[in-house]
Amino acid sequence: MNKLRNFIREKKQNSEDIKIPRIARENDDFPAPANDIERRNAEILENNGVFQTKPVEITAGKSNFAYFLDGIERKKILFYYRSIPCIYGHVAAAVLGRADKKPHPAGLEKTHEALYLPQKHFPGDLGMKIIDTGAGEPMLPEQYVYEAHKEIQKIRGELEKSLVRQWAGRDYNKGWLFVDGRVEKLSKELTSGSNIVGVIKSHHACYFDYENQYRIYSMKKGERSCVFRPEDGKGRPESVFSWYLRLHYDKNYGTNAFGLIRVEVPADEELLAKADIISNWILLETKPVAFPASRWDRMIYPVKYCEDYLKSKAPNYARLTI
């Protein structure tokens, strides 16, 4: 960070406009831009095309998940130069294996660190890789933040995709991989023939009408929806099968999404018949509970372990103080 400090010192000595946010807390990430809910269609693949929910058949006493993929982002606005934010971004992803009930490193980890800014306004060496966010100028400061967020998300996706490619190309594929996130984004080439299950904790797409969406929100713990094939924003079938599953239920909690996840598997007919057994495995993974993670009701413990592992290796905010 010394070159950044020198840059700031020089600009201040020249009486140029430069400001440093005085928010100092460990969770200092700038908030992600708001996501709009998308209305999409889906083809129901069970029950002769009629929507239904049902209790999951408990037939397995042990989960077959042997590997767990998660990624993290650490991002912070370090300072503003002439109202333009200089944003630091750290992205990391890892696949952890599990042996003797405990997750462990599997030799599949990647990190990326950079500054996100319009490079034409920050000439010279700032001591770190630069991702240029200056396309389409002039821009408001908020637009630079939005562009940085998009780039960070893109890089995280690329890291995770490359780790899945490594995992699928080795003997790791003999066990099932639990992905914290979408399978669809990994591409059909990577997921076809692989034992991969994705779990989505945030719900930014609506695939059903009000009545059926209400039935999803009304599911009790251990219940799932019918399997469906979602369409993308252009009305094309995605390369995944999906269903909703309730991991935890609390009638007094007051939110529709409490304990509710959406599961994705590659669009393979053999996996269509495994919706119950895969749901069974996921429900088994809810013990122990992933508390005190902020979304513990939709997270399993091995993913929390993976997240904590990546955070322990990430730079802390004390290092990022200018």
- pLDDT at residue 302 in the model: 95
Structure confidence at residue 31 as a pLDDT band (50, 70, 90): low
Angstrom distance (rounded) from CA 118 to CA 148: 10
| 90 within 8 A of 151, measured Cβ to Cβ | no
Structure confidence at residue 46 as a pLDDT band (50, 70, 90): very high
Lowest average pLDDT, out of 183-187, 214-218, 279-283, goes to: 183-187
Tell whether the model's pLDDT for residue 173 goes beyond 70: no
- pLDDT at residue 116 in the model: 96
- pLDDT at residue 124 in the model: 83
Angstrom distance (rounded) from CA 257 to CA 248: 10
Average of pLDDT values for 211-224?
96
DSSP-assigned letter for residue 170:
S
| 140 within 8 A of 172, measured Cβ to Cβ | no
Tell whether the model's pLDDT for residue 114 goes beyond 80: yes
Tell whether the model's pLDDT for residue 180 goes beyond 50: yes
Tell whether the model's pLDDT for residue 139 goes beyond 80: no
Angle at 282 between CA 195 and CA 91, to 5 degrees: 70
CA 64 to chain centre: 22
Tell whether the model's pLDDT for residue 246 goes beyond 90: yes
Burial code of 14-25, b = ≥16 C-beta within 10 A, e = fewer?
eeeebeeeeeee
φ, ψ of residue 276 in degrees (nearest 5): -70, -45
Whether the upstream peptide bond of residue 288 has omega within 30° of 0, thus cis, is yes
Angstrom distance (rounded) from CA 321 to CA 80: 14
Angle at 222 between CA 216 and CA 225, to 5 degrees: 35
Tell whether the model's pLDDT for residue 239 goes beyond 70: yes
- The residue among 164, 178, 180, 155 whose CA lies nearest residue 307 is 180
Average of pLDDT values for 164-190?
84
Lowest average pLDDT, out of 36-40, 176-180, 261-265, 279-283, goes to: 36-40
Handedness of CA 298, 265, 41, 156 (dihedral sign): positive
Average of pLDDT values for 299-317?
93
Angstrom distance (rounded) from CA 116 to CA 261: 32
- pLDDT at residue 179 in the model: 96
CA 159 to chain centre: 12
- pLDDT at residue 172 in the model: 63
Q: What is the mean pLDDT of the chain?
A: 89
Cα distances from 164 to residues 141, 174, 175, 179, 192, in angstroms, run 35, 13, 13, 9, 12
DSSP-assigned letter for residue 259:
T
CA 1 to chain centre: 28
Structure confidence at residue 220 as a pLDDT band (50, 70, 90): very high
Burial code of 304-318, b = ≥16 C-beta within 10 A, e = fewer?
bbbbebbeeebeebe
Tell whether the model's pLDDT for residue 186 goes beyond 60: yes
pLDDT greater at residue 231 or residue 138: 231
